[in-house]
Amino acid sequence: MRPLPNGWMEELVRLRRDIHAHPELAFQETRTSDLLAAELARYGLEVDRGLAGTGIVATLRSGSSSRAIALRADMDALPVAELNDVAHASTKQGVMHACGHDGHSAMLLGAARRLAAHPDFDGTVHFVFQPAEENEGGGRVMVEGGLFERFPVDAVYGLHNWPGLAVGRIAVHPGPVMAAVDLFDITLSGRGAHAAMPHQGDDPIVAAGALITAIQTIVSRTTDPAEPVVLSVTRIEGGAASNIVPARVVLHGTCRHYGSTTSAVVEGRLRQLVEGTASTHGLSGTLAYDRRCPATINSPEPAARAIDAARATVGETAVDTDLPPSMGCEDFAHMLKVKQGCYVWLGNGPAENGRTLHSANYEFNDEILPIGVDYWVQLVRRCLPKAAA
C-alpha cells in the first residue's frame, strides 16, 4: 500500500471523526453532504448535488477516453446510542455512525483528493455519495432519480468495512456477496372475547403460536436445502390486557435469500400457512409480502479488476476470494441491478468487545483509511488505464 502524502492522513482522520461526531439519519445527511461537497470542490472536482436529496455526484475527468466508472460511498448513521467513550463520540443523542459510513465517506474523499492531485488514468470517475443506505433505499432513490442516465458508467464499485476480517485484508466475492431482503406482515383477525369466556370469540394468539411454529418448516421442508435462506418472525403485536382475548394479532418478519425462485417459494408457502392456520382457527388471515432489496451479486469482470486492485493494495496473500457470502443486505444491490460492478469487504480488525456492525460499541478503525484510499486509486487505474506511451 502506498502511504498518503504528508499531512493527508491527519486530515482524513479529522474529517472522519468530525462526521462521526455529527451523525445524521437516512435522508437527513445535510451537514455531512455540505462538508463532503465543500471538500470535493476544494480538490477541484465538478460537484452535482440534490439526487435523492442529500446525494452527491462529484466528477473527475482525465485524458480522452469515453470510459467511465462510479465509486460509491454511503453517508447515513443509525438510531443507536453510542457507548464509546472517545473524544469524537456522537454529539447527537440516540444517533451513531455504527456501520462505519463515516469511514466510507472519508475514504472516498481521500481517493478523490489523491486522483485529483495525480490523475494517472484515462476516462471519467464519478464519486457517488449516497444517502440512506440503512433500510431506506437511498441507492434505489438515486437510481430511480436518473443516476446512471445523468452520469453514464461502464461499472459501479462499492466497499464496506468488515469487522472480523483483519486490518490489511480485503475480501472480494466473485459472485454473491450480500443477500436479498423481503419483509412480511401477517394479520390474524377474528372476534375478541373475555379471557374467561374464550368460547365466545376466536383467539388469534393461539393461532399465532401455531403459525410461528409452522413457519419454521418452510426453510427446513420447503426450500431447496442447497439454497441459503433465513426466515425469521421478529415482532409480535397483539393484546392489551390479561383478561381480554384480543381480536387481532400482527406478526412481522423477514426473509433473507439469494434468488427470486426462493423468494417466490417462501411467499407462496407462507400464504398457504397463513390462510390455512387462520381458517383452522376460525379467523381471517392476510399476508403482505414486500421484496425490499435485491441480492448484491458481483459481476465476473469487475470482480477480477477488484481482485487485481486489492492485490496491488494489500498484497497477493491478503486478498480473500473464497469467503462465504453474508445473509446481511446492502442497498448497493439497487445499483448492481442496473449496472455491472463489484462490492468488496475491507478488514476492520477483530469483532471483539462489541466491535460489530450496528453495535453501540462499534468503532470504525482509522488505520484502514489509507488502505481504502489506495484500493480506490488502484481500482481506477485498472478500470481506466492510460494507453502505453
Positions touching Zn ion (CB under 5 A) are 99
Distances (CA, A) of 161 to 18, 74, 226, 339: 18, 12, 28, 22
Q: Please state the closest distance from residue 357 (CB atom) to Zn ion, in A.
A: 5
**Torsion, Cα of 135, 136, 142, 148 (10° steps):** 30
- Identify which of residues 346 and 377 has a Cβ nearer to Zn ion in the complex: 346
C-alpha cell belonging to residue 219: 426453510
Q: Please state the closest distance from residue 105 (CB atom) to Zn ion, in A.
A: 11
Q: Please state the closest distance from residue 160 (CB atom) to Zn ion, in A.
A: 6
First to last CA, the chain: 25
Q: Please state the closest distance from residue 138 (CB atom) to Zn ion, in A.
A: 11
- Identify which of residues 33 and 223 has a Cβ nearer to Zn ion in the complex: 33
Question: In angstroms, rounded to a whole number, what is the distance separating the alpha carbons of residues 359 and 76?
Answer: 15
Regarding beta strands 68-74 and 46-49, do their DSSP bridges make them parallel or antiparallel, or are they unpaired?
unpaired
Annotate 324-386 with three-state secondary structure. Answer: CCECCCCCCHHHHHHCCEEEEEEECCCCCCCCCCCCCCCCCCHHHHHHHHHHHHHHHHHHCCC
Q: Please state the closest distance from residue 98 (CB atom) to Zn ion, in A.
A: 7
Q: Look up residue 72 and give its amino acid.
A: R
H-type alpha helices, 202-360: 204-217, 260-280, 300-314, 333-338
- Identify which of residues 69 and 99 has a Cβ nearer to Zn ion in the complex: 99
- Identify which of residues 99 and 283 has a Cβ nearer to Zn ion in the complex: 99
- Identify which of residues 100 and 228 has a Cβ nearer to Zn ion in the complex: 100
Q: Please state the closest distance from residue 64 (CB atom) to Zn ion, in A.
A: 36
Q: Which of 89, 86, 48, 95 is nearest to 70 (CA)?
A: 48
Q: Please state the closest distance from residue 281 (CB atom) to Zn ion, in A.
A: 38
Tell me the residue number closest to Zn ion, measured at CB. Answer: 99
- Identify which of residues 72 and 281 has a Cβ nearer to Zn ion in the complex: 72
Please, are residues 182 and 259 in contact by the beta-carbon 8 Å criterion?
Answer: no
- Identify which of residues 75 and 99 has a Cβ nearer to Zn ion in the complex: 99
